[in-house]
């Protein structure tokens, strides 16, 4: 199976990490050094044999750079073209941007948590000091990026071989941290190394979408971040994750204040699903029965929570209807400021701390739509305060809120809900400022 499919063996895949640098000629296909229009060829410290699926356009290989992020290393299982694209991101071209981000293998600042055994959950992270809402808890550059094409185009033997090689080629400490992660099952003695790496990847990987400039838009990544992987699930988590494509890094921030002794948790799923769907999804994908406080509510309270979640969905759909740009009535539905206030309350009641910026933003737009600029600014400021750590500097929604708070009178929503009721949209700063 392996022998037949190996189409471009670049070097012995079982080479020990840290061996001499290999300039992988065939990974620079179509990329010319010195041509400003093309990304520069990257020098990988290790690369592997490649496999190509029957109808696939490109082979898939494992690439490692052990010098990445202060010598932490990174491995990619992807096409040569995409490996070259990823190597053109800031994390590679300007190593200072990821210097010191990772604090797990080589720590230079004290941690805010410690790893402990949590009854019924395996290991987990417990806060050791007070963590304020919005504080960064940790960040990891990705250790192993697996292009979804590996799962879709290669046989299981082929992609598990590449995954295993990709882990082996990382620096020893880093590879050991990955291999120590939970494979979910307790008895691993019967597993081959490929099966162990596959079980670890399936238990701990995050789905990451391609960034806006990635030419392979339709193919997501499955990514391992070893420190973050120790965080257990809660349907109402106290922390949120965010991926920064320029740094190839995942950030974890506190979604609310966290007391010392509390477990730091993430949600593995969409938090706005009703209980039966949440329980089913967690069981199917991660193989555990959710016993978080929300899933453990007594029946009557669980029904109230589900009803709130369903109403959040209905209200969001109504508040997001604005009619066509350029004139159709803004008040075509039931959207109103009372509905926006209810949405904010429902998010609070549901303890959706990491998503509060969504509710605040919709409330800001709704108040602006009826010409109440000052209440709109209040909610937009709340949206910024809660959204900035969750979305990150440079996020387009954060930037849009920054523009909005400066001048809601010129935002496209200004008095838009009043249009179609015999009122013209009043344009321009000054004219309507302070009218409300
Ligand atoms: C990403 S790992 C989290 C860290 C893991 N507990 C460990 O020991 O490294 C995901 C696995 O942790 C366990 N887990 C996570 N959240 C859990 C929860 N709320 N209840 C029970 N088990 C959970 C499950 O075995 C799941 O497959």
The string of DSSP letters for 135-171 reads: -EEEEEE-SEEEEHHHHHHS-HHHHHHHHHHHHHTS-
Ligand 1 centroid to residue 122 C-alpha, Å: 6
Closest CA to 342 of 321, 322, 318, 323: 318
Report if residue 127 sits inside a domain: no
Whether ligand 1 lies within 6 angstroms of the CB of 184 is answered as yes
Residue 303 sits in the same domain as residue 199: no
Residue 212 sits in the same domain as residue 332: no
Domain count, the chain: 2
Q: Which residue, of 210, 231, 252, is where some domain finishes?
A: 231
Cα 172 from Cα 154, distance rounded (Å): 27
The mean per-residue pLDDT over the stretch 214-243 comes to 97
Residue 336 sits in the same domain as residue 199: no
Ligand 1 centroid to residue 118 C-alpha, Å: 9
Percent of the chain topping pLDDT 90: 81
Residue 47 sits in the same domain as residue 160: yes
Residue 221 sits in the same domain as residue 303: no
The mean per-residue pLDDT over the stretch 270-284 comes to 97
Question: What is the average pLDDT value for the chain, to the nearest integer?
Answer: 88
The mean per-residue pLDDT over the stretch 71-75 comes to 97
Report if residue 120 sits inside a domain: no
Residue 304 sits in the same domain as residue 165: no
Ligand 1 centroid to residue 371 C-alpha, Å: 48
Whether ligand 1 lies within 6 angstroms of the CB of 119 is answered as no
Which residue, by CA, sits nearest to atom 23 of ligand 1? Answer: 121
pLDDT band at 185 (very low <50, low <70, confident <90, very high): confident
pLDDT at 330 over 70: no
Percent of the chain topping pLDDT 70: 85
* Highest-pLDDT range among 184-188, 232-236, 416-420, 429-433: 232-236
pLDDT band at 422 (very low <50, low <70, confident <90, very high): low
Backbone φ/ψ region at 329: left (φ over 0), alpha (ψ -120 to 50), beta: beta
pLDDT band at 421 (very low <50, low <70, confident <90, very high): low
- Which one has a higher pLDDT value, 49 or 176? 176
Query: What are residue 301's phi and psi, to 5 degrees?
Result: -70, -35
Residue 308 sits in the same domain as residue 223: no
Residue 161 sits in the same domain as residue 17: yes
Residue 37 sits in the same domain as residue 178: yes
Whether ligand 1 lies within 6 angstroms of the CB of 122 is answered as yes
Closest CA to 140 of 167, 171, 113, 174: 174
Q: Which residue, of 231, 248, 278, is where some domain finishes?
A: 231
Whether ligand 1 lies within 6 angstroms of the CB of 232 is answered as yes
pLDDT at 288: 95
Residue 141 sits in the same domain as residue 25: yes
Which residue, by CA, sits nearest to atom 13 of ligand 1? Answer: 121
pLDDT band at 332 (very low <50, low <70, confident <90, very high): low
Q: At what angle do helices 356-369 and 299-319 cross, to 10 degrees?
A: 40
Residue 175 sits in the same domain as residue 304: no
Report if residue 257 sits inside a domain: no
Whether ligand 1 lies within 6 angstroms of the CB of 267 is answered as no
Task: Indicate the SS3 state at residue 208.
Answer: strand
pLDDT at 189: 85
Ligand 1 centroid to residue 232 C-alpha, Å: 5
Report if residue 432 sits inside a domain: no
Range of the structural domain that residue 43 is part of: 2-110+132-231
**Contact status, residue 275 vs residue 294, Cβ threshold 8 Å:** yes
| Bridge partner residues of 419 (DSSP) | 423
Residue 218 sits in the same domain as residue 324: no
Q: Which residue, of 231, 257, 272, is where some domain finishes?
A: 231
Ligand 1 centroid to residue 278 C-alpha, Å: 15
pLDDT band at 22 (very low <50, low <70, confident <90, very high): very low
Give the length of the chain: 436
Task: Return the structure tokens found at 118.
Answer: 């949590």
Which residue, by CA, sits nearest to atom 7 of ligand 1? Answer: 123
Report if residue 316 sits inside a domain: yes
Report if residue 174 sits inside a domain: yes
pLDDT digits (tens, 9 = 90+) for 318-328: 999 997 655 45
pLDDT at 20: 27
Report if residue 414 sits inside a domain: yes
The mean per-residue pLDDT over the stretch 264-276 comes to 97
pLDDT at 278 over 70: yes
Cα 123 from Cα 251, distance rounded (Å): 20
Report if residue 184 sits inside a domain: yes
The mean per-residue pLDDT over the stretch 245-257 comes to 98
pLDDT at 17 over 50: no
pLDDT at 188: 83
Which positions ≥6 away from 187 have C-beta within 8 Å?
none
The mean per-residue pLDDT over the stretch 32-59 comes to 75
pLDDT band at 169 (very low <50, low <70, confident <90, very high): very high
pLDDT at 333: 84
Model-level pTM greater than 0.90?
no
**Contact status, residue 340 vs residue 319, Cβ threshold 8 Å:** yes
């Amino acid at each position: 199976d392996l022998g037949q499919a190996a189409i471009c063996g670049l070097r012995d895949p079982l080479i020990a990490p840290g061996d001499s640098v290999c300039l992988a000629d065939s990974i620079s296909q179509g990329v010319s050094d010195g041509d400003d229009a093309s990304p520069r060829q990257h020098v990988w410290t290790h690369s592997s044999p490649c496999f190509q699926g029957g109808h696939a356009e490109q082979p898939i290989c494992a690439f490692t750079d052990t010098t990445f992020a202060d010598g932490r290393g990174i491995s990619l299982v992807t096409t040569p073209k995409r490996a070259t694209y990823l190597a053109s991101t800031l994390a590679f071209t300007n190593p200072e941007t990821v210097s010191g981000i990772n604090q797990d293998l080589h720590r230079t600042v004290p941690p805010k948590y410690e790893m402990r055994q949590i009854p019924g959950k395996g290991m987990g992270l417990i806060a050791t000091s007070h963590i304020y809402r919005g504080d960064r808890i940790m960040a990891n550059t990705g250790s192993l990026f697996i292009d979804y094409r590996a799962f879709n185009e290669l046989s299981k033997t082929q992609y598990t071989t590449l995954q295993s090689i990709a882990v082996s080629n990382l620096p020893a400490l880093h590879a050991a941290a990955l291999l120590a992660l939970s494979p979910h099952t307790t008895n691993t003695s019967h597993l081959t190394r490929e099966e162990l790496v596959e079980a670890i990847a399936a238990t701990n990987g995050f789905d990451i979408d391609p960034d806006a400039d990635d030419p392979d838009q339709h193919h997501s990544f499955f990514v391992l971040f070893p420190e973050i992987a120790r965080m257990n699930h809660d349907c109402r988590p106290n922390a949120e994750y965010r991926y920064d494509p320029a740094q190839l890094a995942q950030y974890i921030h506190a979604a609310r204040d966290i007391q010392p002794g509390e477990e730091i948790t993430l949600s593995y799923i969409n938090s706005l699903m009703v209980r039966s769907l949440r329980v089913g999804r967690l069981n199917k994908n991660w193989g555990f029965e959710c016993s978080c406080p929300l899933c453990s509510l007594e029946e009557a309270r669980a029904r109230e929570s589900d009803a709130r979640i369903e109403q959040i969905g209905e209200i969001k759909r109504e508040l997001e209807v604005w009619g066509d740009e350029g004139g159709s009535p803004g008040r075509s539905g039931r959207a109103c400021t009372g509905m926006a206030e209810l949405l904010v309350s429902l998010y609070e009641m549901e303890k959706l701390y990491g998503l509060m910026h969504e509710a605040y933003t919709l409330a800001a737009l709704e108040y602006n739509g009826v010409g109440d600029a000052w209440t709109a600014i209040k909610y937009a400021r709340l949206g910024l305060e809660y959204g900035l750590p969750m979305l990150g500097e440079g996020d387009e929604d954060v930037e849009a809120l920054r523009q909005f708070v400066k001048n809601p009178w010129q935002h496209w929503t200004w008095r838009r809900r009043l249009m179609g009721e015999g009122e013209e949209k009043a344009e321009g700063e000054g004219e309507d400022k302070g009218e409300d």
